[in-house]
Homo-oligomer: A and B are copies of this chain.
Amino acid sequence: MLTLYHSGLSTCSKQVRLCLKEKGVAYESRYIELWNYENLNPEYLKLNPNGVVPTLVHDGVPLINALAINEYIDDAWPEPPLKPADPKERAKMRLWTWTADDIHTAVMLATFKALLTDALKGLTEDDIEAMIKAIPVPDRRERWRKFTKGGFSDEEMMAAEAKMSHGMERVEAALDGKDWLAGDMFSLAEISMIAIVNRVKEIRPSMVDDVTFPNTNAWRERIMARPTAPEIFFSGTPETPPRPKVKSISGLTRDLKIAS
């Protein structure tokens, strides 16, 4: 009845897994291994024509895009609410869920470079061509082409750094004297932004260091202390199995059972 196709610790997978766990909604977890491009398997593309994770399938209807999915979860299971009741605080919340999505593009570039460069060594030139050809969305195809054929330019990396850094400064300022980003409650704003802040802390720790970003780090610790956090943010759980060491394209053609 409720199935989540996700890839564990990927940013958008974490956002939706955290939302479901905070609601206490039970779901079947279906792991999609990005390292062998199961997300580009033709069977998966029938569910998610963008070829990305996550996809939530509810009563046979696939829902895509982490922002839309998390709003859906809060619409379909209203308790406990993850949106402030006041419309103005809700608008603030949506500015943050949008901001997380906006910064995500920059985070992706930096993540590719920091975490995928070694893993790429498993791919031959032919593998890379087959993988790029399977990507259904032009800007994602272009990003992978660039990354696998020489890497991102210094200009692109600097722009990504500036965007991430500016985002972290905004978070720090917004949390001045406040526990949460929007209203007086843990909301979808936290769920969207913690995945971004955690990733930035992982790949660029100096952009969100303890001394310069005390509000952000205290906020992060409040979230990481929640009962839901261990299942979401740490590897080695059933939903966060270890990645293969190197990439392959075996997921493009393997017989992926997709049942909704």
Hey, which bits of chain A sit against chain B, CB under 8 A?
58, 61, 63-65, 67-69, 71-72, 75-76, 87-88, 90-92, 94-95, 98, 101, 106, 137-139, 142, 159, 162-163, 165-166
Instruction: Enumerate chain B residues within 8 angstroms of A65, measured Cβ to Cβ.
Output: 94-95, 98
B162 with A64: CB separation less than 8 A: no
Q: Which of A61, A72, A165 has the most CB of B within 10 A?
A: A72
Instruction: Enumerate chain B residues within 8 angstroms of A68, measured Cβ to Cβ.
Output: 91-92, 94-95, 98
A83, chain B: closest CB distance, angstroms? 9
Instruction: Enumerate chain B residues within 8 angstroms of A64, measured Cβ to Cβ.
Output: 95
A61 with B90: CB separation less than 8 A: no
CB-contact partner of A138 in B69, B75, B159, under 8 A: B159
Closest to A88 in B: B61
Q: Which of A91, A106, A159 has the most CB of B within 10 A?
A: A91
A72 with B91: CB separation less than 8 A: yes
Instruction: Pick 19 A–B contacts, CB within 8 A, sort by A.
Output: A63-B88, A67-B98, A68-B92, A68-B95, A69-B91, A71-B91, A71-B94, A72-B87, A72-B88, A72-B90, A75-B87, A75-B91, A76-B87, A98-B101, A106-B139, A138-B162, A138-B163, A138-B165, A142-B159
Instruction: Enumerate chain B residues within 8 angstroms of A95, measured Cβ to Cβ.
Output: 64-65, 68
Give the copy number.
2
Instruction: Enumerate chain B residues within 8 angstroms of A137, measured Cβ to Cβ.
Output: 166
Instruction: Enumerate chain B residues within 8 angstroms of A87, measured Cβ to Cβ.
Output: 72, 75-76
Instruction: Enumerate chain B residues within 8 angstroms of A67, measured Cβ to Cβ.
Output: 94, 98
A94 to B142, CA, bound (A): 25
A92 to B67, CA, bound (A): 11
Closest to A160 in B: B139
Instruction: Enumerate chain B residues within 8 angstroms of A142, measured Cβ to Cβ.
Output: 159, 162
CB-contact partner of A162 in B76, B92, B98, B139, under 8 A: B139
Closest to A137 in B: B166
Instruction: Enumerate chain B residues within 8 angstroms of A138, measured Cβ to Cβ.
Output: 159, 162-163, 165-166
Supply 11 further A-B pairs (C-beta < 8 A) apart from A68-B94, A68-B95, A142-B159: A58-B88, A61-B88, A67-B98, A71-B94, A72-B90, A98-B101, A106-B139, A137-B166, A138-B162, A138-B163, A139-B162
A76, chain B: closest CB distance, angstroms? 5
Closest to A59 in B: B88
CB-contact partner of A71 in B61, B90, B162, under 8 A: B90
A42, chain B: closest CB distance, angstroms? 17
